[in-house]
Structure 1
Amino acid sequence: MQLADVKQVYFIGVGGIGMSAIARYFNGRGLPVAGYDKTETPLTRALEAEGIDIHYGKADVNLVPEPAADLLVVWTPAIPRDFAELVKVQTGDYTVMKRSAVLGLISRGMQCVGIAGTHGKTTTTTLTTKLMTVAGLSPHAFLGGIPRDFDGNYVAGDSDWVVVEADEYDRSFLQLHPTIAVILSCDPDHLDIYGDHDNMLETGFRAYARQVVEGGQLIVRYDVAKYFSGIDHVLLSTFGIGTGDFSAQNIRVEDGAFHFDLKEPDGHLVTNIRTALPGRHNIENAVAACAVTRLAGGGEDAIRKGLDTFRGIARRFEVALKTDKIVIIDDYAHHPTELEAAISAARELYPDKTIRGVFQPHLFSRTQDFAAGFARALDLLDEAILIPIYPAREEPIPGVTSKMIYDGMASPNRRLLSNEMMLDATAELSDGVLLLLGAGDIDALIPKIVAQHQNTLTHG
C-alpha cells in the first residue's frame, strides 16, 4: 500500500503516544479515523474531541471496519497477539501494518530527522522540532510525549522536513531512512528483543546508521562514535559537553538556568545560549538539537530563541507542585541511567533539600535485566520507596518483583510498599523534594499525591 492509497484508517491501540500521533496525522488529512484502546485516558478523550471514534474495554470485532482496498489497519506490539480484533485483521483480507512501518511509509520521500538513543529521545525530538520551527524550517513531527510548545504530539508542518522519534524497541527504527540521524546513547536495553548488548549494537543501532541516506548526516554522542566506524556513506559528527564536533563550552548557571556557548565543527562559537532544562544530560540533548538545526540551515538566533523559550514535555522532570516546603516532580525515568540523571538533576537544582523518590519499575524483563543498576541508582536518594512493577505488555516472570531491586540496595532508608501504602506515606511528607519515577501508570497517582499536599496547605 502506498500512502496515497490510504483513504480510511483503523488503529488497534490508538491511545498509545506513538499511535495517537499517527492517528492525528491521518485525521488532519481529513480521512475517517477510528480505533480501539483498553481504557479511556486524557489523550484518548482529546482524540475523540478531534473527531476520532474510539471504543474501549474488550475486543469488539463487529466494530472493526469491513475489509477494503483503501483501508489501513495500524497496530502496536503493546497489543497481545491473541487480541480478537488483531486476530481478525491479521487472518482476514486487510492491509495491516505496525506503527513503525506506517511511520516509515509517511516519512518516505521526505527529509527525515530521526532521533534515536536509549535515553533522551523524546526531549531531543521535541526540542529539535521547536528549534527547527523557530528557524522557519516548518517541520512535521511525530513526538513521543506531550509537548507544552505545540498543540499535540503530532506537529503539522508545511515543508518536506519531518522529525521523528526513532525507537529501538522491536527494531522499529529500521523502517526509517533519515537524511539526518542522531544517536544519543546506546546503553543496554530491550534485551528481551536483542538478547545482549553486542547484538543490540549490530542489529539495532549500527543497522539504523546504515539506513541514513547516501551523503546524509549521522550525529552521535562522542563516547559512542567508536561503534559506528566503517559506516562511510554518511558524514559523521560527534557532540558532547566540552568535547565533540558540536560541543557545549563555558557552561555556567545564571538565575536558575544553564548558559553555554555552542562550538561548531569549524570552531565557530554561538555564544550565550540559555536553557532552563534541568540536568547536564539535557545540555547534551540541547547540543544535539542545535546540531541538527544548524545542519538543516537554521540560524544562530533561532537556536538561542528556541532554547530560551522551550517549555518542556509532560512527565519529563515536570514540576507537579512547588511550595516553600515541598517540591513534587514527575519523571518518566525507567532505566538506571535515566534514574541517575533525574536524581542528579534534583540534587543540582535543590542542593539543600532532602531528595526522596518513589519508583515504579516498568516491565518484568527490564527489572530482571537491570535490578542491580536500579538498586545503585536508587541508593543515590536520601529515601526511596519501591512500588509494584507495571507489567505493560508482559506476563509475570516467576520471582521477578520490585523486591529484587529492594534487596540489592544498600541504603537503609528504603521501603517496599503497595500503591495504597505509598499514597499514605507520601501524604505524611512535609518538606524536601519528592521524585515520582517510572514509565508505567504512576502518573495516574500523581494528582492524588498533589491533592493531599494541597489539602494540607489549605486546611493545615
Structure 2
Amino acid sequence: MNPPSASSMPPALAELGRVHFLGLGGVGVSGIARIMQQLGVEISGTDAKDLPVMRELETAGATVFVGYDATHLDRLAQDGGGAVGTVIASSIAGPGNPEYDAAVDRGIPVRHRSEGLAAAMSGHRVLAVAGTHGKTTTSSMAAMAFSDAGADPTFAVGAAVAGLGTNARAGGGEWFIAEADESDGTLLNYRPEIAILTNVEADHLDFYGSVEAVTEVFRDFIRLLPRQGVLVACADDAGAREAAEWARTEAVDGLPAPRVATYGSDPARADDLVLVDSELAELTGGTGQRLTYRWADGTTTALTLAVPGRHNALNAAAVLLSARHAGLDVGAAARGLEAFRGTARRFEYRGEAAGVRVFDDYAHHPTEVAAAIAAGRTVAGGNRVHVLFQPHLFSRTRDFAEGFAAALSAADGVRVLPVYPAREEPIRGVDSSLIAGRVRTELPGSTTVPADAPAAVASLVSAAQPGDVILTMGAGDVTAQGGAVLAALTEQAGRA
C-alpha cells in the first residue's frame, strides 16, 4: 500500500482542515476517519462508548474522547494540533448533540458522514455499490478482487473484510470502492464512475414513505453517472432490472445515457455475464460453491467461492463485470474473489459444538432473511436449520411482518426475540408476535417468542441435533447470542 502523502492531498480534503468526527466508533464514521488519517488529515473524534476502533485510531495519532462535551472543541484548539476546521457527524449525532451544537454556534462547518466520505473520494475513480441488500458483501468482494488485480484501491465498507483485516484503507491506486447507502438518501452525495445495483425493493419506508420513492432515489443515483460511466445491474432482481431498462433510455442533461451492463442467472435477461453453473464445494472451514460464468463473447470464467448462497454467486458476478469495465485483469479479480472469506455478520461462521454449526447474519429485511436461510439450508444439507431472529425497528416489523413470516417459514424452527427498537419508540400493537403468529401457521409447534435471550438459547439448543445449523439473525444485539449458543451446546454435550 502506498497512500498519497499529505503534500499531495486532494484539495477537497485539504480544505477541511483538522476534522473532528462525531460517532467515531461507528463502522462508517471510523472507516472515513481511518482513510483521512492515512491520507494525512489531522483527525480527532468522540463517541458515547469506548470502542476498540477508537483506540486503533488513537494509536495512529488521533485525539479521542469518550462521552460528548462541548468543551472538547476548546481542548482541541489548545492541544497544538490547531482548531477544528470541520466536524463530520454520523446520522445519530446530529442537532441536540452537545458537540454538534457547539460547532454550529462557533461557525465550524458541520458535514454529514456521507459528505465526509464524498470528500475522501475526491481525486479517485469511484466504484459505488448500491441496492437494498448486498452492499457490504459486494463492496467487500470488490475490495478483494481489485486488490488482487493490482489496483491497490482505497475502500470503505460496512464491515471488516476477513482477507484484508479492516473495513477501510487508503490505497495508492486510482479506484475508491464504497457502499452507497440509500437508507436516508445520502447516496446522492457520491459521483461514481461505475455503479453496481444489486436490487431495488421496498425498504426504509419510515424515511421514504412508499416503494415509488425508493425507486426514484435509485433513478436519481443512476442520473449521477457520467457519460462514460457504467451501471452494473442484477437482471435477476425485478427492481434492478427495471432500473437498468429505464437507464438505457434515459438521457441526462441532454447527454446520452450511461452504459448499462447486466448480470444474472437467466441468459434471456442478463446481457453481459451469466451464471451458468454452480455446485456445492466442501472446503477447509466450511461449504462453498464452484461457479462458472459465461461472458457475452462466449468465453467463461470459473472460480471457487468460499461463501455459500446464490446471492453471493450473483454478488461475485457484479464484481467480475465491474472489474472488466475498470480495465482490470478478470482472471486476477477472480483469484481475489476466491480469497474472499466473508465479512463480519454476513452469514459469518461462529463455530461448531456438539456437531451443530452456528452462523450469524445481519439480515433485517425479508429478502435478506430468505437468502440467509437458503445459505443455511445449503450448509445443513439434509439436516435442519434453526433460526433465532430479532426484529429490528417497530416500523420495520409493522411494514414487513408478512414478509418476515414467509421468509422465516423456510426454516425448521424459529425463535423470535422482542423487537430491537434502536432509535424508535414503541408503536401500539406492534411486537414480535406479529411475525411469530404468522410463522406458527406454517411451522406449528416449532415457533416461539421466548421471554428473553437466555430462554431462546436454551430452546434452540434443546432442539438442535448433530448436523443441524443454528442461525442468529438481525441488525440488533442478537449477534451476541452466537457465543451463548456455542457455550450451551458445549455444556449440553458434556452432560450427555
Q: Normalising TM by the smaller chain, what interval?
A: over 0.9
Mapped to 1, the partners of 2:432 and 2:26 lie a distance apart of 25
1:191 maps to 205
Mapped to 2, the partners of 1:142 and 1:382 lie a distance apart of 37
Does the 8 Å contact 1:206/1:227 carry over to 2?
yes
Does the 8 Å contact 1:12/1:74 carry over to 2?
yes
Q: 2:459 aligns with which of 419, 425, 435?
A: 425
Question: CA 1:148 to 1:369, structure 2 compared with 1: closer, same or farther past 3 Å?
Answer: same
Q: 1:241 aligns with which of 248, 261, 265?
A: 265
Mapped to 1, the partners of 2:224 and 2:423 lie a distance apart of 29
Mapped to 1, the partners of 2:462 and 2:58 lie a distance apart of 38
Q: Which amino acid aligns with 2:324?
A: R
Q: Does 1:281 align with 2:311?
A: yes
2:46 maps to 36
2:135 maps to 121
Q: Which moved more, 1:235-244 or 1:441-450?
A: 441-450
Q: 2:290 aligns with which of 227, 250, 259?
A: 259
Does the 8 Å contact 1:108/1:177 carry over to 2?
no
* CA-CA distance at 1:392 after TM superposition: 2.0
Does the 8 Å contact 1:12/1:76 carry over to 2?
yes
2:277 maps to 250
2:471 maps to 435
Q: Does 1:7 align with 2:17?
A: yes
Q: Does 1:338 align with 2:380?
A: no
Q: Which amino acid aligns with 1:342?
A: A
1:105-144, aligned counterparts within 5 Å? 105-144=119-158
Question: CA 1:299 to 1:446, structure 2 compared with 1: closer, same or farther past 3 Å?
Answer: same
Q: 1:86 aligns with which of 100, 105, 122?
A: 100
Q: Which moved more, 1:186-195 or 1:63-72?
A: 63-72
* CA-CA distance at 1:70 after TM superposition: 5.6
Mapped to 2, the partners of 1:45 and 1:446 lie a distance apart of 25
Give secondary structure in 1 for the equivalent of 2:311.
helix
* CA-CA distance at 1:367 after TM superposition: 1.4
Mapped to 1, the partners of 2:119 and 2:148 lie a distance apart of 27
Q: Report percent identity of matched pairs.
A: 33
* CA-CA distance at 1:459 after TM superposition: 6.7
Q: Which runs of 5+ in 1 are unaligned?
A: none
Give secondary structure in 2 for the equivalent of 1:143.
strand
Q: Which amino acid aligns with 2:336?
A: G
1:293 maps to 323
Stretches (4+) displaced over 4 A: 65-70, 455-460
Mapped to 1, the partners of 2:96 and 2:261 lie a distance apart of 44
Mapped to 2, the partners of 1:450 and 1:47 lie a distance apart of 32
Deviations 1:115-158 (A, max 9, x none): 00111100100101111111111111011111111131112211
With the length of structure 1 as denominator, give the TM-score of the two structures: 0.93
* CA-CA distance at 1:407 after TM superposition: 2.4
1:304-323, aligned counterparts within 5 Å? 304-323=334-353
Q: Which amino acid aligns with 2:233?
A: V
Give secondary structure in 2 for the equivalent of 1:149.
coil
* CA-CA distance at 1:430 after TM superposition: 4.6
Question: CA 1:264 to 1:314, structure 2 compared with 1: closer, same or farther past 3 Å?
Answer: same
Q: Which moved more, 1:447-456 or 1:177-186?
A: 447-456
* CA-CA distance at 1:287 after TM superposition: 0.2
2:229 maps to 216
Question: CA 1:52 to 1:405, structure 2 compared with 1: closer, same or farther past 3 Å?
Answer: farther
Question: CA 1:145 to 1:159, structure 2 compared with 1: closer, same or farther past 3 Å?
Answer: same
How many equivalent residue pairs?
457
Question: CA 1:213 to 1:416, structure 2 compared with 1: closer, same or farther past 3 Å?
Answer: same
1:21 maps to 31
Question: CA 1:48 to 1:386, structure 2 compared with 1: closer, same or farther past 3 Å?
Answer: farther
Q: Which amino acid aligns with 1:193?
A: F
* CA-CA distance at 1:307 after TM superposition: 1.8
Does the 8 Å contact 1:5/1:70 carry over to 2?
no
* CA-CA distance at 1:359 after TM superposition: 0.7
Mapped to 1, the partners of 2:422 and 2:95 lie a distance apart of 14
Give secondary structure in 1 for the equivalent of 2:455.
helix
Give secondary structure in 1 for the equivalent of 2:166.
coil
Mapped to 1, the partners of 2:384 and 2:54 lie a distance apart of 37
2:112 maps to 98
Does the 8 Å contact 2:388/2:472 carry over to 1?
yes
Mapped to 1, the partners of 2:448 and 2:416 lie a distance apart of 6
1:444 maps to 480
2:195 maps to 181
What is the root-mean-square deviation of aligned Cα atoms in Å? Answer: 2.1
* CA-CA distance at 1:428 after TM superposition: 3.6
